[in-house]
Amino acid sequence: MPQPQILCENLSLGYEGETIVKDLSFAVEAGMYLCIVGENGAGKSTLMKTLLGLRAPLSGRVVYGDGLKKRDVGYLSQQTDVQRDFPASVREIVLSGCQGRMGLRPFYNRDEKETAERNMARMGVAELADRCYRDLSGGQQQRVLLARALCAAEKLLFLDEPVSGLDPTVTADMYRIIGELNQAGVTIIMITHDVAEALACATHILHLGSRFFFGTRDDYLREMRDAASEKEARTA
Amino acid sequence: MTTSFEKLALYMDYPFVRYALIVGVLIALCSSLLGVTLVLRRFSFIGDGLSHVAFGALAVATVLQAANKMTVVLPLTLLAAVLLLKTGKNTVIKGDAAVAMISVTSLAFGYLLMNVFSTSPNVSGDVCGTLFGSTSILTLTKQEVTFSVLLSVVVMLLFVFFYQKIFAVTFDEDFARAVGVCAGRYNLMLAVIIAVIIVLAMNLVGSLLISAFVIFPALSAMRIFRTFLSVTVCAATLSILCALAGILASILAGTPVGATVVAMDAAAFLACCVAGRIKHGV
């Protein structure tokens, strides 16, 4: 059995005095496409921030394995107010994805500049390189942030609601790109509201909230079906 | 016109005028560099808050009759800066409220202390001088000038050296931390630099007007330019030009130095608004 890239053991998450997720254990293996679904406030973003090491869990632990290091991880966060009117060119933003591996070196070297150009081309934003980020459409902005995440890492990507606020065509496009990245071997951990889409593309599902589920998509579908027929039987 | 030039040429012969120009320009440059990241992070008022802390600290130093007031003012301002920038999302009192609270409190305490324990015959003169910048920029000693120059050079070097990191942390702190940048360390560094600049700038513009030094150049530059690098360069250039023009104008017209420089900054902001509208056709 391959060693998992991320292993969560008995994780409890929440804010002071209030636990929202209790005793969560699961493992993420290389090549997985894991969708985290659940109601608002079920702790999806909190879980992601904990996995990223941005906040400490109340108890339990997160272990990175399989040679995965902090600098192998990319992150596409939800947009903040600060970013919406930030004066920066697309190239400046994508390059900043390389920061993690720079240590104290003050300037980017040729390798990092090439990585940035390559990822901009991969995400189809190469011709926007000198444009200002805030002048772009929502879909273009997400592609830029995805290119930046790819500069940070090519092993594992965390995506927090990558399609929120995008129109249907752009959304489909975004899912296609993420799917292609997964095909190319990138492990994906994605938070989404869109359960239908999650079921269409994910290999594994993590359901937080009213009830807990972690397993493959097919098991999830079966359990959903069982739950539905059980409910039907009860009402009948 | 020729008479003003002659007058200027005459003034330039005095070392105190040259000192004032050097120190003024350097402080303007440093504060504008940091202004870009502060404005973008919605910390425009931190300059204001910290300068009031510095005012309060100065009052404490005066009451204690400290031989060198800097030994009291600098540490207290540093402490306030670190505390204020640390107040992120998880504090009881949110960012802007914390800044406002610390700012008015230290202003009030400073004034109170100066009034109750004053040793000088002209309290309101002292207070006014500290708030709006006194003529102390024109009475700098050579030591003070050297000290200011050194500190400014250190600030500029740090800024250039950590420029890419400052950008990354300003644009998206969570992402930067997620990929392994020590965001906390750079925030602390920024807090320390800001405190140092504010203590330096108090001589020039006084407590009340420091904010203008920090925010105006950045805001003006953002009207016209759309990339981080061009905004930074433009802010620095504008700030230097305004400081030069302001100090020279104040010498010629006999107006208060700080207020004149700030007036220049405001004028530049208006000009940049117009230029931005023309350039971007809005």
Token digits for B262? Answer: 């700030």
Chain B residues 169-188 within an 8 A CB cutoff of chain A? 170-172, 174-181
Mean pLDDT of all residues in B92-102? 71
Question: In the structure, what pLDDT confidence band is assigned to residue A53 with cuts at 50, 70 and 90?
Answer: confident
Inform me whether the pLDDT recorded for A1 exceeds 70: no
For chain A, give the percent of residues with pLDDT over 90. Answer: 16
Please report, as a single letter, which amino acid is at residue A141: Q
* Contact (Cβ atoms closer than 8 angstroms) between residue B258 and residue B205: yes
pLDDT band at A163 (very low <50, low <70, confident <90, very high): confident
Instruction: Give the pLDDT confidence score for residue B2 in this predicted structure.
Output: 66
Contact between B172 and A53 using a beta-carbon 8 Å cutoff: no
Residue numbers of A between 175 and 214 with CB closer than 8 Å to B? none
Q: Which of B194, B202, B197, B204 is nearest to B56 (CA)?
A: B202
Distances in whole angstroms, Cα of residue A25 to Cα of each of A5, A7, A11, A33, A208: 14, 8, 6, 17, 12
B216-228 residue pLDDT tens: 999 999 999 989 9
As given in the structure block, the two tokens for residue A45 are 């973003």
The predicted structure's pLDDT at residue B158: 92
Domain harbouring B152, CATH code: 1.10.3470.10
Q: What is the tens place of the pLDDT at every residue in B4-18?
A: 778 878 888 888 888
Size of interface A-B (CB pairs under 8 A): 94
What pLDDT does B11 receive?
80
- Cα separation, A159 vs A51, whole angstroms: 12
Question: Among A7-21, A124-138, B263-277, which stretch is predicted with the lowest mean pLDDT?
Answer: A7-21
Contacts of B96 in chain A (CB under 8 A): none
Any CB–CB contact under 8 A between B281 and chain A? no
Q: Is 70 exceeded by the pLDDT of residue A178?
A: yes
Of B36, B47, B38, give the one whose Cα is nearest residue B222: B36
- Top residue of B36, B160, B172 to mutate, by most chain A CBs within 10 Å, is B172
Contact residues for B57 (Cβ-Cβ < 8 A; gap 6+): B72, B73, B76, B77, B106, B110
Residue B93 confidence (pLDDT) above 70: no
| Mean pLDDT, chain B, integer | 83
A49, A99, A134: residue with CB nearest B181: A99
Residue of B83, B52, B101 lying closest to B192 (CA atoms):
B83
A208: its two tokens: 């937080």
User: Which residue, among A127, A165, A121, A171, has the nearest Cα to A147 in the 3D structure?
Assistant: A121
Q: Which of B80-84, B178-182, B222-226 has the highest mean pLDDT?
A: B222-226
Does the distance separating the beta carbons of B231 and A148 come in below 8 Å?
Answer: no
3-class DSSP string for A76-111: ECCCCHHHHCCCCEHHHHHHHHHHHHCCCCCCCCHH
Query: Going by DSSP bridges, is the β-strand pair A33-38/A187-191 parallel, antiparallel, or unpaired?
Result: parallel
Rounded to an integer, what distance in angstroms lies between the CA atom of residue B247 and that of residue A48?
Answer: 53
* Chain A residues 74-133 with a CB less than 8 Å from chain B: 74-75, 77, 80-83, 86-89, 92-93, 95-97, 99-102, 106-108, 130, 132
Instruction: Please state, in angstroms and rounded to a whole number, the distance separating the CA atoms of residues B111 and A88.
Output: 42
Interface probe for B, chosen from A48, A90, A94, A99 (most Cβ of B below 10 Å), is A99
Domain of B118, in residue numbers:
2-280
Neighbours of B188 (CB within 10 A): 15
What is the predicted pLDDT for the residue at B135?
58
β-bridge pairing A6-15 and A18-28: antiparallel
Residue B65 banded pLDDT, cuts 50, 70, 90: confident
Judged against a pLDDT cut of 70, whether residue B89 lies above it is answered with: no
A132-136, B120-124, B253-257: range with lowest mean pLDDT: B120-124
Q: Of residues A179 and B142, which shows the higher confidence score?
A: A179
B236 pLDDT band (50/70/90 cuts)? very high
- Please answer whether residues B137 and B203 qualify as being in contact, where contact means their C-beta atoms are separated by less than 8 angstroms: yes
Of B42, B161, B222, the CB nearest to A87: B222
Q: Establish if A162 touches chain B: CB-CB under 8 angstroms.
A: no
Instruction: Kindly give the residue spans of alpha helices, DSSP state H, lying in chain B.
Output: 2-12, 15-40, 46-64, 70-86, 95-116, 123-132, 142-161, 163-171, 173-178, 183-205, 210-224, 228-253, 257-280
Contacts of A106 in chain B (CB under 8 A): 160-164
pLDDT of residue B122 exceeding 80, the answer is no
Q: B161-175 pLDDT, tens per residue? A: 999 999 998 898 888
Contact A13, A43 (CB under 8 A): yes
Using a pLDDT cut of 70, give the percent of chain A over it: 99
Torsional sign, CA B118, B119, B124, B125: negative
* pLDDT at B242 (0 to 100): 94
Checking if the pLDDT of B68 tops 80, the result is no
B227 touches chain A (CB under 8 A): yes
Encoded tokens for A113: 């500049």
Do A142 and A171 form a contact (C-beta atoms < 8 A)? no
- pLDDT band with cut points at 50, 70 and 90 for residue B138: low
B117 interfaces chain A, CB cutoff of 8 Å: no
Chain mean pLDDT for chain A = 85
B9 membership: H or E segment, kind and range = helix B2-12
Q: Residue written as tokens 């995805």?
A: A146
Which pLDDT score, from 0 to 100, does residue B274 have?
Answer: 93
- Into how many domains does chain B fold? 1
